[in-house]
Amino acid sequence: MSATRTRTWLWGALIVGLAVMIFYFGPLVFLANMSLQSQQQFLTNATAFPHPVVWSNFLQAWRQASMGQYFVNSIVYTFVPTLVALAFSVFLAFPVSRGYVRGARQLRTILTSGLFFPVAIIPLFIESRYLHLYNNRPGYMILHIQDAMVFGFFLFVGYFRTIPRELDESAVIDGCNYLRYLVTIVTPLAKPAFITMGIYAGIQIWNDLIGPVVFLSTPSLFPLSRGLFAFYGSYQSDWTLLAAGVIIAAAPLIVAFIFLQRYFIEGATAGAIKL
Amino acid sequence: MNSVFKGRQQLWVYGLMIPGLIVFLLFGIVPTAASLVISLTDYLGIPGVPVHFVGLANYVTLFINNLPSMKQSIEDTLMFAGGVTIFQNLIGLGLAYVLSKRFPAVGFFRTLVFLPAVLGVTIIGLTWSLLLSPSGGPGASLLGLFGTSSSFFGSNTWAMPLVIFVQIWANLGFTTVVYIAGINTVPRDFLEAAKIDGLSEWASFWRVTFPLIAPALTVNLTLAAAGSLRTYDIIYVLTDGVHNTNTLGMYMFNTAFQGSGNLGLGAAIGIIQFVLTVIVVLALQRYLTRREEAMS
């Protein structure tokens, strides 16, 4: 009986492993294959190995899609709001978590409920025009603080409880001021939570496509997500160039994922409650 | 309320909260509340055009004048959400069951399945559009072997199933991770006891493991349903809502931002989408918590 069980398991593992390889590794392999083919080969014999190997697809995609510019935009758009949101959410979460301010409990409920607010893209679009946040870099970044901040708040309010209150007291006795206390004592202790929040929020912003479609109209302001999509729109039948462009855009994410996997998964599971 | 920070320090505590609260008010509370108000106006996307309060006119337009589109859109939404929720959980559960065991390269498989979660809709959408391009490419070549062809995302029959497939493909990793976490909490003794009682692998999964992972099931079903009822960015990339994939989110987005842009009407669709989501998710949650209680 045990022997048949083991055999069943072996088959199960084999089948699942194979399916995962076909559906999850396969697309990447095909994409890489396509990105090195000539346009002509793609149309006639896309499943064969590239012959001849067209490395220039990458260079051409990089230039024609102005990906350098989009990369710079994406980096700025991702890092600035994530760091600002991180700071704002610490400033909110610490006193609320400790009950150091009036109405801490109510504040906590309201801010946490922010996770469940419906997507209000239309009012945000109208607001962005009134507040002159439409189609400019600072505005685009300001519009992305809210979601990251609410997520950070939710994460940190729980996390700060693991930092003993006695620490606050001794800091005050030593004459350490509030801001310095947060930066030099709390931040190092809460580092894992900060990394989780930063990576999760950063990925959301980096990959946002609806945001740049609604809030930006000048191509030079586009982040990579929208830039790549625009490239797709105008070179719709240049399949091999597009494949190269997709790979260029995906490569940094894949590399980051390999190194920071643990935090990605943690962030996503913590963000699970973000319905 | 007993803060250890006193006087000037306590002022800092309050003062530093202000920027965050302003952001929350401006970009959290105001837009949420404004959705309903905007849905009662004839707000157009063109700047400078006067705005009027029109009462329920947008809702009348949607449910009376444009009833066929609305019906189609609700149908598409339920089809998409239903397909995603059911299959993502079935596949995720099976996958988690196998991937929770130890065998060579299991960590690699888990990583691989989770990878799309970081790639984002543009990369995911374009990847599948390229793989399944009708005029050539791997998908077409593969079908060619069987002597058939398909226009894939450009087909009225296949667009929806394929969009569902891509959505599941993108989110399966998360569902699987949650199920694996659930399966790992099942006490080994229970499974040993089932084995000794002579239960087959299949029977011991359904009679021992499955009831014990009820919380994971609740989380996964609720999240998949809520997510798929709301999301539309992947559909925007793959089909832009044509070929029977015009879910409410897509309908809202295209009404508000495509062409001349009718923001009031779009906001009304957004409200309908929100109401539908709340109804479905609450009903599902009620059912699932009762189920959990009955099982414990």
Residue A275 is predicted with a pLDDT of 42
Percent of chain A with pLDDT over 90: 62
Do B263 and A228 make contact, defined as CB atoms within 8 angstroms?
no
- Confidence at residue A37, expressed as pLDDT on a 0 to 100 scale: 86
User: Is pLDDT of A254 > 50?
Assistant: yes
Q: Do residues B36 and A158 touch, judged by C-beta distance below 8 A?
A: no
- pLDDT for A51 equals 78
Say if residues A196 and A155 touch (Cβ distance below 8 Å). Answer: yes
Question: Strand runs (DSSP E) across chain A, as ranges?
Answer: none
Which pLDDT does position A5 carry in this prediction?
67
Complex-level ipTM beyond the 0.85 threshold: yes
Give the pLDDT confidence score for residue A1 in this predicted structure.
47
Report the pLDDT value the prediction gives residue A253, as an integer from 0 to 100.
93
In this prediction, residues B136-158 reach a mean pLDDT of 81
A9 touches chain B (CB under 8 A): yes
Does the distance separating the beta carbons of B130 and A229 come in below 8 Å? Answer: no
Residue B289 burial (10 A CB sphere; 0-12, 13-18, 19+): middle
Q: State the residue for tokens 């490395």.
A: A55
pLDDT confidence bin for A220, thresholds 50/70/90: very high
Cross-chain Cβ contact B17/A118 below 8 Å: no
CA gap B58, B248 in Å, rounded: 15
**If pLDDT is split at 50, 70 and 90, which confidence band does A6 have?**
confident
pLDDT at B136 over 80: no
In sequence order, what are the residues at sequence separation of 6 or more whose Cβ sits closer than 8 angstroms to the Cβ of residue B184?
Answer: B100
Compare CB distances from B31 to A12, A95, A123 and report the shortest one's residue.
A123
Nearby residues of B182 by Cβ (< 8 Å), 6 or more positions away: B96, B212, B213, B215, B216, B217
Cross-strand pairs, B44:
B262
Task: Kindly indicate whether the domain formed by A66-222 is annotated with CATH number 1.10.3720.10.
Answer: yes
Phi, psi of B53 (to 5 degrees): -80, 125
Residues in A 33-52 with any Cβ partner in B closer than 8 A: 34, 42-47
Cα separation of B296 and B293, whole Å? Answer: 5
Interface test with B, best of A107, A122, A242 (most B CBs within 10 A): A122
B53 DSSP β-pair partners: B41
Work out the pLDDT band at B107, boundaries 50, 70, 90.
confident
Q: Which of A212, A95, A206 is nearest to A157 (CA)?
A: A95
Residue A199 pLDDT greater than 50, yes or no:
yes
Q: What is the mean pLDDT of chain B?
A: 90
The domain defined by B66-295 folds into: MetI-like fold (1.10.3720)
Mean pLDDT score across all residues of chain A? 89
pLDDT in tens, A129-141: 999 999 999 999 9
Predicted model pTM:
0.91
Cβ–Cβ gap A100/B136 under 8 Å = no
Contact call for residues B87 and B169 (beta carbons, < 8 A): no
Q: What is the mean pLDDT of residues A203-215?
A: 95
Please compute the mean of the pLDDT values over residues B125-147 and round it to a whole number.
83
| A122 with B115: Cβ contact below 8 A | no
Which among A44, A124, A165 has the least Cβ separation from residue B31? A124
Q: Is the pLDDT of residue B38 over 90?
A: yes
**CA nearest A141: which of A84, A197, A66?**
A84
Residue A271 has pLDDT above 70, yes or no: no
Residues of chain A positioned with their CB less than 8 A from the CB of B165? none
Shortest CA gap A66–chain B (Å): 16
Residues β-bridged to residue B41: B53
Cα-Cα end-to-end distance for chain A = 45
Does A143 score more than 70 pLDDT? yes
pLDDT tens digits, one per residue of A164-182: 999 999 998 988 899 999 9
Interface A–B counts its CB contacts (< 8 A) at 259
Amino acid in position A107? L
pLDDT at B37: 94
Domain boundaries, chain B: 66-295
Q: How far is A178 from chain B (nearest CA, A)?
A: 6
- Better pLDDT: B2 or A20: A20
Report how far residue A13's alpha carbon sits from residue A210's, in angstroms, rounded to the nearest whole number: 39
The pLDDT of residue B92: 95
State how far the Cα of B251 lies from the Cα of B269, in Å rounded to an integer: 7
pLDDT tens, A56-77? 889 988 988 889 999 999 999 9
Top pLDDT among A92 and A114 is at A92
Q: Find tokens 């989770």 and name the residue.
A: B114
Domain locations in chain A as residue ranges: 1-65+235-263, 66-222
> Identity (one letter) of the amino acid at B103?
F
d(CA A26, CA A19): 10
- Say how many residues make up chain B: 296
Q: At residue B205, does pLDDT exceed 50?
A: yes
